[in-house]
C-alpha cells in the first residue's frame, strides 16, 4: 500500500478519522492541564579552607585548596538530600523538590543547590532557604567535632539563587506522547473499518457471482455435455473447421467404449483386447542367420 492509497482510505473513512483526530487533540490539551509548568532555580556555593590553613597564603582562601574540601562537599550534599534535611526545609516554608550535588566538571569543592516547583516565586524563596540551610549544616558538623573557630571550613556563595526558569521538556514529552498515541489509535481504527468493509464487499460479490452464473453440470457418464463446449454464437458452428475441432475435442473427452454405461444404466464390464499373434507363412521359410558373410539360399538359384 503506497502513500496515495493511504490518503484515499483516510478520505473514504473520514467519519472515523475526524473523531479520532479530535480525541488526539483532546488528549494533548488534557496533558497541558494535568501536567503543569515547572520552574527551576539554582545556586552555586564553594567550600573554602580555614583561616589557619591560609596563613601561608596571606589569608587568601582561593590559593589554598585541599582534597579534603571536596570530600567535605560531597558529605554535605548527601546530608542535604536526606529525609531529615527535607523535613527541616519544609518546616521553614520551603516547597518543591530539593537537590544538592557536586558541580559537573568542577575542579574544586563546588556545590549546586537546586529547587524545582510549580510556583515561580516560591521556587526562588525555597532556593534561598536551601542555600542558607547548607551553610548552617556545615557549621553544625564542625561544632559537633569541636573544631576551633580559626580552623573551621567556610562556605561562600559563588552564584546566588537564580531567577526560576520554566522547564518545558517533560511537559512537551507528555504532550507528544499523548498526541502520538491518539493519532496511532485513530489510524488503526480507520484501517480496521476499511478492512472490514472490503471483506464484506468481497463476500457479497462472491455470493452474487455464485448465484447468477452456475457452471455446467456433468452428465451421468461423467463427461461434459456438448452444449457446454459449443460456442455461444450459432453462426460460429457453420464453419466446418470449427465443427471438426469441436468433434475432436468431444472424442478426446469421451470415455472409452469399454467404460461406457449400458442402455439399462448398469456399467459395462471392461473388455480386455486380445493379443494378436504373428503366424509365419509356410511359403516363407524362416530367416537363417548368415554364415561367413553370405546370404542364405532361398531354394532358387540366383540369376
- Asked whether the beta carbons of 150 and 158 are under 8 A apart, the reply is no
pLDDT grade for 274, boundaries at 50, 70 and 90 = low
The mean per-residue pLDDT over the stretch 222-240 comes to 50
Which segment of 79-88, 98-107, 236-245, 285-294 scores lowest on mean pLDDT? Answer: 285-294
| Interatomic CA distance for residues 70 and 107, integer angstroms | 9
> Which burial class, exposed, middle or buried, applies to 21 when counting CB atoms under 10 A from its CB (0-12, 13-18, 19+)?
middle
How many CB atoms are located within 10 Å of the residue 257 CB? 9
What contacts 70, CB < 8 A, 6 or more positions away? 102, 108, 109
Q: Where are the beta strands (DSSP E) in the chain?
A: 38-48, 97-102, 110-117, 154-159, 165-167
Mean pLDDT over each residue of the chain, to the nearest integer: 77
CA dihedral sign, ordered 148, 149, 150, 155: positive
pLDDT at 6 over 90: no
Cell 498515541 found at: 181
- Asked whether the beta carbons of 124 and 161 are under 8 A apart, the reply is yes
Residue of higher predicted confidence among 194 and 286: 194
> What pLDDT is stored for residue 245 in this prediction?
63
pLDDT at 60 over 50: yes
> What pLDDT is stored for residue 107 in this prediction?
81
Cell 511537559 found at: 171
Predicted TM-score (pTM) of this structure: 0.57
Paired strand residues for 156: 46
The mean per-residue pLDDT over the stretch 120-128 comes to 93
What are 68-77's pLDDT values in tens digits? 888 899 999 9
Map residue 199 onto helix, strand or coil. Answer: helix
> What pLDDT is stored for residue 35 in this prediction?
86
Which segment of 118-132, 200-214, 260-274 scores lowest on mean pLDDT? Answer: 260-274
> What pLDDT is stored for residue 42 in this prediction?
95
**Mind listing the domains of the chain with CATH numbers?**
3-33+170-198 (no CATH), 38-167 (3.30.70.1130)
> What pLDDT is stored for residue 98 in this prediction?
94
C-alpha cell at 202: 468481497
Please report the DSSP string for 128-152 in residue order: HHHHHHHHHHHHHHHHHTT--GGG-
Amino acid at each position: 500500500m503506497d502513500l496515495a492509497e493511504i490518503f484515499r482510505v483516510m478520505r473514504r473513512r473520514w467519519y472515523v478519522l475526524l473523531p479520532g483526530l479530535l480525541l488526539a487533540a483532546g488528549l494533548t490539551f488534557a496533558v497541558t492541564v494535568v501536567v503543569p509548568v515547572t520552574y527551576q532555580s539554582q545556586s552555586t556555593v564553594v567550600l573554602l579552607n580555614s583561616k589557619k590553613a591560609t596563613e601561608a597564603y596571606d589569608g587568601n582562601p582561593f590559593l589554598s585548596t585541599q582534597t579534603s574540601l571536596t570530600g567535605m562537599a560531597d558529605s554535605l550534599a548527601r546530608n542535604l538530600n536526606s529525609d531529615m534535611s527535607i523535613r527541616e526545609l519544609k518546616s521553614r516554608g520551603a516547597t518543591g523538590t530539593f537537590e544538592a550535588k557536586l558541580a559537573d566538571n568542577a575542579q574544586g569543592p563546588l556545590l549546586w543547590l537546586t529547587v524545582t516547583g510549580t510556583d515561580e516565586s516560591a521556587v526562588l524563596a525555597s532556593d534561598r532557604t536551601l542555600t542558607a540551610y547548607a551553610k548552617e549544616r556545615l557549621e553544625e558538623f564542625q561544632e559537633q567535632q569541636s573544631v576551633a573557630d580559626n580552623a573551621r571550613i567556610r562556605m561562600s556563595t559563588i552564584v546566588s539563587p537564580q531567577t526560576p526558569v520554566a522547564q518545558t521538556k517533560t511537559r512537551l514529552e507528555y504532550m507528544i506522547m499523548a498526541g502520538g498515541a491518539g493519532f496511532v489509535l485513530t489510524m488503526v481504527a480507520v484501517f480496521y473499518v476499511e478492512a472490514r468493509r472490503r471483506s464484506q464487499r468481497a463476500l457479497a460479490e462472491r455470493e452474487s457471482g455464485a448465484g447468477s452464473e452456475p457452471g455446467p453440470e456433468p452428465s451421468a457418464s461423467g463427461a461434459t455435455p456438448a452444449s457446454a463446449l459449443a460456442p455461444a454464437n450459432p453462426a460460429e458452428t457453420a464453419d466446418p473447421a470449427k465443427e471438426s475441432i469441436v468433434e475432436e475435442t468431444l472424442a478426446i473427452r469421451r470415455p472409452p467404449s469399454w467404460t461406457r454405461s449400458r442402455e439399462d444404466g448398469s456399467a459395462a464390464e471392461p473388455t480386455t483386447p486380445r493379443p494378436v499373434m504373428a503366424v509365419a507363412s509356410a511359403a516363407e521359410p524362416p530367416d537363417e542367420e548368415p554364415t561367413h558373410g553370405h546370404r542364405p539360399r532361398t531354394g532358387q538359384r540366383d540369376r
